[in-house]
Amino acid sequence: MNNILKLLIILAIVVLIVGLIISQGRDKASVKEGVTSSSEKISTNKDSSDVMAKNLPVLIDLGRGTCVPCKMMLPILQQLQEEYKGRAIIKIIDIRYDPEPARVYKIRLIPTQIFFDATGKEIYRHEGFMDKISIEQKLKEIGVK
């Protein structure tokens, strides 16, 4: 009986571990798809200057697909990417897959939104969830029509 109990416990642990691995793989794939399929990625200062060279205001959102505010912001940011196409660049960076920008931009908290004017100068930085209306107001303030 004692051996059966041990075997059941080991089996339960293995099932739990396999379940966690599978769920993380699904989460990683869905978040990565949501971020990379609809946005260019800024990963270094060089890439950042390439984006700034387009002479458009830029919003960079740095977060992780696992945090609740980041998950809430993803559809908002994807919608804004479409609405502001040609007028502003909206970048979504998942720092799980690309941690370098978190270091480059000295991120202390996620999500963090950084607004740059068309010359590449940082104008405003916000930490935490930011709703669509607030983002649109800030884009308007930095010159997006």
Whether the bond between 57 and the residue before it is cis, its omega within 30 degrees of 0, is no
Mark whether 70 is an active-site residue: yes
Which entry of 59, 62, 70, 93 is annotated as an active-site residue?
A: 70
Which entry of 51, 56, 67, 118 is annotated as an active-site residue?
A: 67
Cα–Cα distance between 20 and 29 in angstroms, integer? 14
DSSP alpha helices (H): ranges in the chain?
2-36, 45-52, 68-83, 100-104, 132-141
Cα–Cα distance between 22 and 2 in angstroms, integer? 31
Q: Which residues are catalytic?
A: 67, 70
